[in-house]
A and B are shown apart, each in its own frame.
Chain A
Amino acid sequence: MNTEKIHYNINFIAGLIIISLVLFFVTAGIFYTPYDPNEMNGAIKNMTPDFAHPFGTDNFGRDILSRVMSGAGTTFIVALSTVAIGAVMGTLIGAVTGYYGGFIDEILMRVNDGLTSFPSILLALVFVSIIGPGKYNVILALGIIFIPSFARVVRSEYITLKQMDFVKNAKLMGAGDFRIMFVHILPNTKLILLSSVTIGFNNAVLAEAGMSYLQLGVQPPDASLGRMLSEAQAYLFNAPWCALAPGLMIVLTVLGFSLLNER
């Protein structure tokens, strides 16, 4: 029992440290990057990492550090918006279906089961082929795709919680359905929602990077981690650092959040 607790703490602390570093790096990137991430300079093509360019430069002479900072920012914005859409809509749908049950619940859950059994990248590709590539379209596509997983989690919480005494109490005191759902029950789901949000965020980072890698996600001139990886692949032998920096950024982000979530 004791060792388990220490183990949990180590995971949690390691995750916290990684995430703080990553977040610091990304927030700093919003306000300041050492160079303009899109500035090209033919004189310093494919430079190995040194003092002036800690992560080196790419085939167009762009500073990799600056590009990773702004690219990670784009990836984070896409992932955050995606999770926001998924969590808000998913919570609404989960709350209503879980609380009322019945016919609508049955239909929505069948649709949910159908959607969740398909790999999210495939669904996202179908969406993007319909509405076209681009940052906002990817947010929309991934956001919609993430709704079912949140809805399922919230629904099952509501089904258990609606039978609790505090809900009966609130009903006796004359609280309306809407008030019970969102003022009384919702705060009790915050722990499980929090862990769904971190898992969702990780999946969104991976999905965005994958879509941008296929050049169907974020479009230039916006830098994005996935896009950087696909561009770096052509110069892999001469400039491997172009691929390592954005790749490691993705790995650290996902690793950090999954360690935080470990219990």
Chain B
Amino acid sequence: MKYFIRKLSSLILTLLLVSIFLFISFQVIPGDSAAASLGTSATKETVEALREELGLNRNVFVRYFSWLGNALCGDFGISAQYNMPVSLLLKERMPVTLWLAVLSIALIIIISIPLGIQSAKKEGGVSDRVITFLTHTAMAVPPFFLGIIITLVFGLILKWFIPGRYISYSENPGQFLGYMIFPAIAIAIPKTAMTIKFLRSSVIRQLKLDYVRTARSKGNQENVILYRHVLKNAFIPVITFIAMVIADVLAGSIIIEQLFSLPGMGRMLVTAISNRDFSVVQAIVIYIAAVVVVINFLVDIIYRCIDPRVRV
């Protein structure tokens, strides 16, 4: 329980620090959202009036705390570019990004676990060599190049999907999944390769330990040793690794959403950055930061439950 409280307080502290850092750094830049939303033709008086209205004239600390208070209630201000509440914009786009992340992670787990185990089981064998070579190559391919290849092969040549024509879930769930699976594959392949490599070395490390020799000398079959004893231990570091992968998948979707024209949060972030729409940028970064921090927190807790030796 003490451990839980300590981790929880460090989670809240990290998030507060991130929000303070973000808020202050967006204060440093010349030109605020008042000037940005009125454009270059605005007179000094109208900008001043809007600044007054938006409360930009107040002290930084006052503004930070009012922003934080509103953010905690789910209000992230008004987007200068869409003239809409940021929270509403986020609500529209979040499901797309979440679906993409869930599909990618499902793919990563489904592919990497059997391949990683197979590779470690026959270390140095033909299948291991082939898998190792493939993982090396796959890790070197940036997701956006993979996305372009997938668009070319499956979209333009085989015509399995129409590039750029996103179909929302409410329109047609089947076609939605049929479209989303391609960006998910583009995100998943490099990360799958990394997970395979990580799982392989984790299993191999376990196979060399004394308890495996003991289990063998007791007459257990290799498969029993592997599936009943080794995997339990080998998966522990893999869980941390997959938590890192989740953060990377969220970040990777920034580029992939652009490539497949998915109306998700990543795409909104990129357009918000180009249009200097800072309330949107702030909200999305805070959101991703929160997801990353919460996942790390959950992993710490899970870790503690499955491996009582952890006493950090």
Counting CB contacts under 8 A, is A19 at the interface?
no
Stretch at the interface among A50-58, A64-72, A114-122, A174-182: A114-122
A121 near B254 with CB under 8 A, answer: yes
Write the chain B residue with the least CB distance to A252. Answer: B140
Of B167-175, B223-231, B267-275, the segment with at least 4 beta carbons within 8 Å of chain A is B267-275
**Mostly helix, strand, loop or mixed at chain B's interface?**
helix
Instruction: Given the known inter-chain contacts A117-B292, A130-B28, please indicate yes or no for A251 contacting B136, CB distance below 8 A.
Output: no
Contacts of B109 in A (CB 8 A): none
Q: Do the beta carbons of B152 and A236 come within 8 Å of each other? A: yes
What is the chain B residue whose CB lies nearest that of A121? B251
Q: With the chains together, A243 CA to B144 CA distance in Å? A: 11
Chain A contacts of B148 at CB under 8 A?
Answer: 229, 232-233, 236, 243, 247
B263 to chain A, nearest CB (A): 16
Q: Which of B256-312 contact A (CB under 8 A)?
A: 258-259, 269-270, 272-274, 276, 278, 281, 285, 288-289, 292-293, 296
Alpha-carbon gap, A90 to B44, bound state (A): 45
Question: Given the complex, which residues of B lie within 8 Å of A118, measured CB to CB?
Answer: 247, 288-289, 292
Total contacts A to B, CB within 8 angstroms?
115
Assess the A251–B292 pair: CB atoms within 8 A.
no
Q: Do B255 and A237 have beta carbons less than 8 Å apart?
A: no
Task: Tell me which residues across on chain A come within 8 A of B29, comparing CB atoms.
Answer: 130-131
CA distance A39 to B185 in the complex (A): 37
What 0/1 readout, one digit per residue, does chain B (218-251) give for beta carbons within 8 Å of chain A?
0000000000000000000000000000011011
For residue B22, CB closer than 8 A to chain A, the reply is yes
Is A214 a contact partner of B255 (Cβ separation < 8 A)? Answer: yes
Q: Do the beta carbons of B151 and A233 come within 8 Å of each other?
A: yes
Cα–Cα, bound, A252→B137 (Å):
9
Whether A251 pairs with B141 at a CB distance below 8 angstroms is: yes
Given contacts A119-B251, A129-B278, contact A240 B296 (CB under 8 A): no
Please tell me which stretch of A93-101, A160-168, A205-213 contacts chain B, meaning at least 4 of its Cβ atoms lie within 8 angstroms of it.
Answer: A205-213
Beyond A125-B269, A126-B25, A129-B278, whether A209 also contacts B124 by CB under 8 A is no
Q: B273 to A125, Cβ gap below 8 A?
A: yes
Q: Mark A199-235, 1 if CB is under 8 A from B, else 0.
A: 0001000100110011110000000001001001100
B129-172 contacts to A, CB under 8 A, are 129, 136-137, 139-142, 144-145, 148-149, 151-152, 156, 163
Q: Which of A29-37, A147-155, A189-197, A254-262 contacts B (4 or more CB under 8 A)?
A: A254-262
- A120-152 at interface with B (beta carbon < 8 Å): 120-122, 125-126, 128-131
Task: Decide: A240 and B152 in contact? CB cutoff 8 A.
Answer: yes
Question: What are the residues of chain B within 8 A of A171 when measuring CB–CB?
Answer: none
**Given the interface contacts A126-B281, A128-B273, A214-B270, does A243 sit within 8 Å of B152 by beta carbon?**
yes
Q: If A3-B124, A122-B251 touch, does A129 touch B151 (CB 8 Å cutoff)?
A: no
A131 to B293, CA, bound (A): 26
Is A210 a contact of B296 with CB atoms below 8 Å? no
- Whether the pair B296, A117 counts as a contact (CB closer than 8 A) is yes
Interface residue ranges of A35-87 to B (CB < 8 Å): none
The residue in chain A whose Cβ has the minimal distance to the Cβ of B139 is A258
Q: How far is the CA of A226 from the CA of B144 in the complex (A)?
A: 9
The answer to whether B124 touches A7, judged by C-beta atoms less than 8 angstroms apart, is yes
Whether A26 is near chain B, meaning CB under 8 Å from some CB there, is no
Residues of A within 8 A of B5 (CB): none
| B57: Cβ under 8 A from any A Cβ | no
Q: Is the interface of A mostly helix, strand, loop or mixed?
A: helix
A236 B151 Cβ-Cβ under 8 A: yes
Interface residue? A185 (CB, 8 A): no
> Which residues of B sit under 8 angstroms from A240, Cβ to Cβ?
152
Nearest A residue to B251, CB-CB = A119
Chain B CB within 10 Å, residue with most, of A3, A4, A119, A253: A119
> How far does the alpha carbon of A3 sit from the alpha carbon of B126 in the complex, in Å?
12
Whether the pair A126, B251 counts as a contact (CB closer than 8 A) is no
Given known A126-B285, A251-B141, contact A119–B259 (CB-CB < 8 A): no
Let me know if B26 is at the binding interface, CB within 8 A.
Answer: yes
Are B285 and A216 in touch, CB under 8 angstroms? no
A residues less than 8 Å from B28 (CB atoms): 130
Interface membership of B46, Cβ < 8 A: no
Contact A251 B145 (CB under 8 A): yes
Contacting residue for A255 out of B140, B144, B259, B285, CB 8 A = B140
* One of B144, B145, B278, B288 near A122 (C-beta < 8 A): B288
Docked pose: A187 CA to B28 CA in angstroms? 40
- From B144, B152, B156, B274, A210 is in contact (CB under 8 Å) with B144
Give 15 A-B contacts (CB < 8 Å), ordered by A residue.
A7-B124, A114-B18, A119-B247, A119-B248, A119-B288, A122-B254, A126-B281, A129-B276, A209-B144, A216-B274, A233-B148, A233-B259, A250-B142, A255-B139, A259-B136
6 additional A-B pairs beyond A117-B296, A122-B251, A236-B148, beta carbons within 8 Å, are: A128-B273, A210-B142, A214-B254, A214-B255, A216-B270, A255-B137
Measuring CB to CB, which residues of chain B are less than 8 angstroms from any residue of chain A? Answer: 14, 17-18, 22, 25-26, 28-29, 124, 129, 136-137, 139-142, 144-145, 148-149, 151-152, 156, 163, 247-248, 250-252, 254-255, 258-259, 269-270, 272-274, 276, 278, 281, 285, 288-289, 292-293, 296
